[in-house]
Amino acid sequence: MNTQSPQAPQAPQAPAPRPGDQIASGGTIGLVLVRIVVPLWVLTGALFKITERSPSLLPRDFLKQVESLGFDLYWVLATLIAIEFIAVLIMVFIPKLARLMAVLMLVAFCLVLLNELRAGNFSSCGCLGSVSPPPWLMLLIDFLLLMGVVAFKPRPLEITSDRAGWALVSVLIMITSGITFGIVLSEMGPTTIVQVEQEQDTGSAPVDDAEAAEPTAPEPPAVETTKTMTLPAYYLVDASDWVGRNVRDIDMIEYIDGLADSLQAGRQYLIFYSRTCDHCQMLLEMHFGFGSPVPTTLVAVPENKGGFETDGLLDQPCMDCRELELPVGCEWLLTPPLVLALEDGVVKCAKEAEDSDVPECLIWH
């Protein structure tokens, strides 16, 4: 007689994962990165740039290098945006080149950002327009995306045939490039402005003592004179060779109405700043909030070619400072605050992006 008790049925075991499943999973990750995530990342930067279409969005050190070679910055900006659109189209519609294009774009981004950090730019790279995070954060994002693209080989997914893909990409390249260059280069024309100056008309007729003693003698009328000036599409500030020069020999000064003649006597400061710049406010508050040791002129820089910002304005703490403005209609490419120390009109020190804690050019303090 069989006395063995029946065995309980065993639960079915899950099949062991096969190597092919892991490969398929990695291929899906690679596909998402190469065909979706990286193209969207590159497209976002291109759209921000073409919306603002300002050379100030170019990385600072890169901007100086290409301008020193004689390239027009609007043409450079349009070319870079067009390249980004082309890269997006290839990654989406040409599967065989998608991974290679993603690697090339991310490597280029990382190299540019590393160069910006080397040059001391820790504020903004312009990668996402005026709302760009600091370069180190953009470098971290680009590097992680690059590592993902290299580590995970995308599985094949053809949206169209090779011939149809190339035909579609060719048409879209012509359309996007034409739109890009048309929009960006429309901003590169010069701007003509008219400056109005008022002077007291003292006249040429002599005045005797009796007339001069009369308290009711009318003030001489003010005479208005106009001056027409053409602004460049952009002005890239390079203060590296300003020391030792007379301020009147710096062409940027000519664009500030009635400024040059007032800077020729004694020790003075000339400070270019932005009304939305917290570093500028900190510099003025720390070193000019309780008065200025020498005559100081502040020159407000328009935040963009269209004019001054109206939101996010910061208080200007220097009550003793004379305040003027650079004219609107030009892209003033500088990193405020730009501080000049003058003596009898000669530049003794000039520093862009002056440090508020340990300033180099506040030598009269």
Read off the pLDDT of residues 264-312 as tens digits, 9 standing for 90 and up.
889 999 999 999 888 899 999 999 988 889 999 999 999 888 888 888 8
Whole-number mean pLDDT of the chain? Answer: 82
**pLDDT at position 218:** 58
Residues in the chain: 365
Backbone phi, psi, residue 257, to 5°: -60, 120
Q: What is the DSSP letter of 36?
A: I
**Percent of the chain having pLDDT more than 90?**
38
Report the b/e string of 63-82 with b at 16+ CB within 10 A.
bbebbeeeeebbebbbebbb
Do 63 and 73 form a contact (C-beta atoms < 8 A)? yes
- pLDDT at residue 273, as a whole number: 93
Confidence of residue 99 (pLDDT cuts 50, 70, 90): very high
48 alpha-carbon distance from chain centroid = 12
Of 14-18, 35-39, 203-207, 318-322, the poorest mean pLDDT is in 203-207
Predicted pLDDT at 197? 55
The rounded distance, in Å, linking the Cα atoms of 124 and 335 is: 11
Residue 34's CB is within 10 A of a number of other CB atoms, namely 26
**Can you tell me the distance from the alpha carbon of 73 to that of 305, in angstroms, rounded to the nearest whole number?**
14
pLDDT tens-digit readout, 126-174:
777 767 788 889 999 999 999 999 998 887 766 667 788 889 999 999 9
Q: What is the mean pLDDT of residues 235-258?
A: 88
- Residue-wise pLDDT for 118-128, tens only, equals 877 777 777 77
Q: Give, in order, the Cα–Cα distances in Å from 231 to each of 11, 196, 326.
A: 82, 16, 11
Please tell me the distance from the alpha carbon of residue 346 to that of residue 263, in angstroms, as a whole number.
Answer: 9
d(CA 247, CA 261) in angstroms, rounded, equals 9
pLDDT at 196: 53
Cα–Cα distance between 50 and 79 in angstroms, integer?
11
Query: What is the C-alpha separation between 301 and 86, in angstroms, rounded?
Result: 35
Which of 15-29, 109-123, 172-186 has the highest average model confidence (pLDDT)?
172-186
Residue 204 has pLDDT above 50, yes or no: no
Instruction: Assign 77 to helix, strand or coil.
Output: helix
- State what percent of residues in the chain have pLDDT above 70: 81
Cα distance between residue 190 and residue 209, in whole Å: 53
Higher pLDDT, 267 or 229: 267
- What's the predicted TM-score (pTM) here? 0.76
The per-residue pLDDT for 23 is 53
Name residue 236's beta-bridge partners.
Answer: 333
Average pLDDT over residues 87-113: 93
